[in-house]
Amino acid sequence: MSGIVVRWKEKKELFPRGITGEEVLKQLAPDLVGRVLVMEVNGEVRDLARPLEADAEVKFLSWEDEAGKRTLRHSASHVLAQAVKKLFPEAKLAIGPAIEDGFYYDFAVPRAFTPEDLEKISAEMQKIIAQNLPFERREVSREEALAYFREAGEKYKVELIEDLPQDAVISLYRQGDFVDLCAGPHVPSTGYIKAVKLLSVAGAYWRGDEKREMLQRIYGTAFTTKEELDEHLRLLEEAARRDHRKLGRELDLFSLQEEGPGFPFFHPKGMVLRNELEAFWRAEHRKRGYEEIRTPIILSQELWQRSGHWDHYRENMYFTEIDGRGFAIKPMNCPGCILVYKSKSHSYREFPIRLAEMGLVHRHERAGVLHGLMRVRCFTQDDAHIFMLPSQITQEIKGVIDLITYIYQVFGFSYQVELSTKPENAMGSDEIWEQATSALREALEQAGMEYKVNEGDGAFYGPKIDFHLRDCLGRTWQCGTIQLDFLMPERFDLEYIGEDGQKHRPVMIHRTVLGSIERFIGILIEHYAGAFPTWLAPVQARVLPITDRQLGYAQEVASALTAEGVRVEVDGRNEKIGHKIRDAQLQRIPYMLVVGEKEMAQGTVAVRHRERGDRGAMPLGSFIAGIKEEIAARSIESGKWC
């Protein structure tokens, strides 16, 4: 048997052809046996049991690697399916992928799963894990796979096989007496799944199609230690406590109505929060030379065909007809901004031209993916489009990076950066894409930014830099983006008069900072658990008279605060002061000003802070000065001054 060369880190050794990754691991890194979950062979993630047939560079992946996590959780989904088939033989198998922080499997069953069912399934999974069953891969022909699943009555698996390309490699995985259609990879055996938890059941349409049958989806998660699982479950409980939909109702910020699914309604307090956020955004953009515009939400079909959205985004758009012409509700703001640019001629002396827009856009989302403010059908994008000379590209990108960094810091967010490259459905030549991608990469490196490359995830008209902010629970949210575009100026024949008196083509940047205003508000609600910094809080102070005798003084205090621009309420209800304080605490109001006979006589207020408790009495003027300073500084921490 001829040999093959296997390279791992600095080691390079000759092995017999057909040796498995597991055997290579034992010889090259015996101390890692039991920790390695899967291997990467020449860039392809594979089972450790797969034979190596040619020279290879290998990486051994553990739980610390994302591919290791995905593999273990995908393997847990197969254990879930095996347990369900054991307890519910009539169940039909659909799909069971790993997802972020967990996994799921979809089943067709005569009745919905109950919490008691989940307990039984979980117990059966533990038995399967304890058996330490190996995951065994076997590649089969299309005919053999179809025959097997037809005989087993697994119609969903048959449909999946029939939809595979003719030249696709079809593989089956077995653990014990359970066999599933799967491309893999998997961990070596079920015993590697040390800690698993089933979380919930939900309905899910087969293949995400609302016209297809509804299946039962069981969600779960898996870890290599019980301690990690316990910490994850604690974070899930905390996330549930912070759920923006729940807090949105409790704090009376917004609502979602059956009459407008996916179209949020902002209430008065929610509008205060939104207006403060937008005012901050506008002020920072004015400082950086942006001019604000507004464009219509309905524009002609021809415009969207010209921009490329018609070919690349039509399934997500809403349409109408006016005077016999086709129109669309805008899913993006860029074509409207381009029309503003084209409305007059431009000289090179004007550049860069920075046009900003709080633009309302509409996108058709399936009902099953709608989620509070995080996934909606209409939202406001804090867009801006920068028209510039090619020589200004790097400096303008760095300017946007500085703006995004500053605004995220104000809210206390850190972030990570991804550079997304040309997707499959991209417009334009490889040369243009390489030029644009190189420009983004150069700007990131000049700005000293660490980033990772996200291959194939650019916009259809250009590569992009995405900013993923991290909240207090460690979750990441993609919000800001910078997209460099050489193609839209070409498609819309944009021009400027250069220094030589000739017509030239400008370059264009599309960018957002917050992304969607609605979604960003949802993130803020959860990040702060509804206890917003004072400058953002819908109500910044509430005056609490102890008895009706102090109601007049309470109203005088409120009037003085209002005159200084502080948002204030008076709780004049005939309730005990303890009840009023508890209610203000539940509403996450930063400051409670208790006023009794003593305070009324001395012109003071007894200050309580929502987190710091009783701060003592102080003159009203001192309180006004302190809270105004805190608001002006947009401080994240509230109440440190008193």
pTM above 0.75, yes or no: yes
Segments forming the whole domain that contains residue 36: 3-62
**CATH number of the domain enclosing 448:** 3.30.930.10
- Residues 287-307, mean pLDDT to the nearest whole number: 95
- Residues 150-159, mean pLDDT to the nearest whole number: 96
Q: Is position 381 annotated as part of the catalytic site?
A: yes
pLDDT at 211: 86
* Choice between 605 and 13, residue whose per-residue pLDDT is larger: 605
Q: How many other CB atoms are there within 10 angstroms of residue 321's CB atom?
A: 9
The catalytic residue among 46, 85, 242, 464 is 464
Q: Is position 464 annotated as part of the catalytic site?
A: yes
Read off the pLDDT of residues 503-520 as tens digits, 9 standing for 90 and up. Answer: 999 999 999 999 999 999
Whether 403 and 507 share a structural domain: yes
Whether 408 and 483 share a structural domain: yes
pLDDT at 562: 98
pLDDT at 95: 96
Whether 338 and 212 share a structural domain: no
Structure token digits, residue 136: 């065994």
pLDDT at 430: 83
Return the closest-CA partner of residue 605 out of 614, 534, 157.
614
**pLDDT classification of 432: cutoffs 50, 70, 90:** confident
CA atoms of 163 and 185, how far apart (whole Å):
21
- HEC string for 118-156: HHHHHHHHHHHHHCCCECEEEEECHHHHHHHHHHCCCHH
170 bridge partner residues: 140
Sign of CA dihedral 445, 450, 454, 458: negative
The catalytic residue among 82, 175, 381, 540 is 381
Read off the pLDDT of residues 543-600 as tens digits, 9 standing for 90 and up. Answer: 999 999 999 999 999 999 999 999 999 999 999 999 999 999 999 999 999 999 999 9
pLDDT at 369: 84
pLDDT at 500: 95
Whether 213 and 302 share a structural domain: no
Q: How far from chain centre, in Å, is Cα 95?
A: 23
CA atoms of 7 and 628, how far apart (whole Å):
64
- Residues 379-403, mean pLDDT to the nearest whole number: 94
Q: Is position 580 annotated as part of the catalytic site?
A: no
Tokens 């034979």, located at residue: 51
Residue 574 within a domain: yes
- Residues 70-79, mean pLDDT to the nearest whole number: 97
Cβ-contact 544, 592 below 8 angstroms: yes
CA atoms of 436 and 161, how far apart (whole Å):
40
Read off the pLDDT of residues 89-110 as tens digits, 9 standing for 90 and up. Answer: 999 999 999 998 999 999 999 9
Residue 400 within a domain: yes
Tally the residues of the chain. 642
The catalytic residue among 47, 382, 383, 471 is 383
pLDDT at 389: 95
The catalytic residue among 78, 244, 363, 519 is 363
Whether 301 and 422 share a structural domain: yes
The half-sphere exposure of 174 on its side-chain side, counting CA atoms within 13 A, is: 7
Residue 638 within a domain: no
Whether 396 and 295 share a structural domain: yes
The residue from 22, 40, 62 where one domain ends is: 62
| Mean pLDDT computed over every residue of the chain | 94
- Amino acid in position 216: Q
DSSP 529: T
Strand order of the β-sheet with 291-292 is 291-292, 353-362, 378-388, 507-516, 476-485, 464-470, 414-420, 452-454
pLDDT at 428: 78
Q: Given a cut of 70, is residue 1 above it in pLDDT? A: no
Whether 216 and 328 share a structural domain: no
- Residues 126-131, mean pLDDT to the nearest whole number: 97
**CATH number of the domain enclosing 120:** 3.30.980.10
The mean-pLDDT minimum among 214-223, 359-368, 566-575 falls in: 359-368
Residue 325 within a domain: yes
Cβ-contact 6, 53 below 8 angstroms: no
The catalytic residue among 70, 422, 510, 610 is 510
**CATH number of the domain enclosing 549:** 3.40.50.800
pLDDT at 285: 97
The catalytic residue among 186, 232, 334, 610 is 334
**pLDDT classification of 214: cutoffs 50, 70, 90:** very high
**pLDDT classification of 366: cutoffs 50, 70, 90:** confident
Q: Given a cut of 60, is residue 316 above it in pLDDT? A: yes
Residue 533 within a domain: no
Whether 459 and 393 share a structural domain: yes
The catalytic residue among 73, 274, 362, 385 is 385
Cβ-contact 471, 443 below 8 angstroms: no
282 bridge partner residues: none
Q: Given a cut of 60, is residue 627 above it in pLDDT? A: yes
**pLDDT classification of 633: cutoffs 50, 70, 90:** very high
Number of domains, the chain = 4
Whether 406 and 446 share a structural domain: yes
CA atoms of 588 and 609, how far apart (whole Å):
10
Residue 639 within a domain: no
Whether 121 and 228 share a structural domain: yes
- Residues 413-439, mean pLDDT to the nearest whole number: 86
Q: Is position 383 annotated as part of the catalytic site?
A: yes
Q: What angle do CA 55, 61, 63 make, to 5 degrees?
A: 170
Q: Is position 314 annotated as part of the catalytic site?
A: no
Whether 379 and 518 share a structural domain: yes
pLDDT at 10: 85
CA atoms of 190 and 222, how far apart (whole Å):
12
CA atoms of 137 and 30, how far apart (whole Å):
24
Read off the pLDDT of residues 167-196 as tens digits, 9 standing for 90 and up. Answer: 899 999 999 999 999 999 999 999 999 999
Q: Given a cut of 60, is residue 279 above it in pLDDT? A: yes
Q: Given a cut of 70, is residue 529 above it in pLDDT? A: yes
pLDDT at 129: 97
Whether 558 and 492 share a structural domain: no
Percentage above 90 pLDDT, the chain: 84
Q: Given a cut of 60, is residue 479 above it in pLDDT? A: yes
203 bridge partner residues: 216
pLDDT at 426: 79
Read off the pLDDT of residues 457-475 as tens digits, 9 standing for 90 and up. Answer: 887 778 899 999 999 988 9
The residue from 12, 32, 62 where one domain ends is: 62
The residue from 241, 272, 291 where one domain ends is: 241
The half-sphere exposure of 625 on its side-chain side, counting CA atoms within 13 A, is: 6
Residue 531 within a domain: no
Residue 552 within a domain: yes
